[in-house]
Chain A
Amino acid sequence: AQSVTQPDIHITVSEGASLELRCNYSYGATPYLFWYVQSPGQGLQLLLKYFSGDTLVQGIKGFEAEFKRSQSSFNLRKPSVHWSDAAEYFCAALNYGGSQGNLIFGKGTKLSVKP
C-alpha cells in the first residue's frame, strides 16, 4: 500500500539553528511530493512541491526540500529557524497515476522552537 512516513513526531530546535524534517514515501513510482505547514488552529499552507527535474526544491519562508530517489525520501530543511516557524509540518504524496489525485499524508511533525 502507498504510504508516507514522518519518523519524528515532535522536534525541538533552538532559534537560529538549522532544521531537517524527515519524510519517506512508499510508492510504485515517484509520486508528486509536497510539504504543508499548519499553524495552531489554522488550515494547511503549501510550503513547496516536487514533480520532476531538479531534486532540490525551494519553497516559501526560506524552506527547501531535497528529493532522493535512492532513499525514497523528501526531507525538508531550513538553515536558520525562526520562532514563527513553530507549527506542525506534513509531508504528502499525490498519486498522479490515478484519475482522482488523492493526497496521502504523513502523520505530521510538530516543531517547537526554543528562544
Chain B
Amino acid sequence: NAGVTQTPKFQVLKTGQSMTLQCAQDMNHNSMYWYRQDPGMGLRLIYYSASEGTTDKGEVPNGYNVSRLNKREFSLRLESAAPSQTSVYFCASLGWSYNEQFFGPGTRLTVL
C-alpha cells in the first residue's frame, strides 16, 4: 500500500499560470480532502469529496477547482495562480469508521 500519494512535490509558477495538483489513494476510502498549510494558520480545508462524483467547498475555496476523477483520485486545479496561493498543499483521505485521516507528503507551491 502506497497510502496517499501527491505529485508534484515542488512547483514554482508565475502569476497567472495554471496547474493541477494530483492526489491518489489506494485504501479504497470514500472521502478525500485538500488542505493548504500556511505559517501560523494551521491547515485549512480547501475542498473535499465525500464520495466519487461529489465535491464541496471547504473554508478557503476561492481560486481553486477540484475534480474527483474516480474513487482513487482527487485533483486540485489552480486556473490562474496568484502569489497568495503560495503554500504547502496536503491531500488526505478518511479512513473507515472515521478512524483517521491519512495525509499525503504534500506539495510545496511557490507563485512568483
Contact = CB atoms under 8 A, between A and B. Distances in A.
Contacts of A49: 99-100
Specify the main secondary structure of chain B where it touches its partner: strand
A90 B42 contact: yes
B31 A100 contact: yes
A100 B90 contact: no
Contacts of B94: 101
Interface residues of A, number: 23
A106 B37 CA distance: 11
Interface string A81-115: 00000000010101010011111111110000000
A49 B97 CA distance: 13
Given A43-B104, A44-B103, A100-B56, A105 B42 contact: yes
B101 interface: yes
Interface of A: 9, 32, 34, 36, 42-44, 46, 49, 90, 92, 94, 96, 99-108
Given A9-B40, A92-B43, A105-B35, 6 more contacts: A34-B101, A43-B103, A43-B104, A100-B56, A101-B31, A102-B58
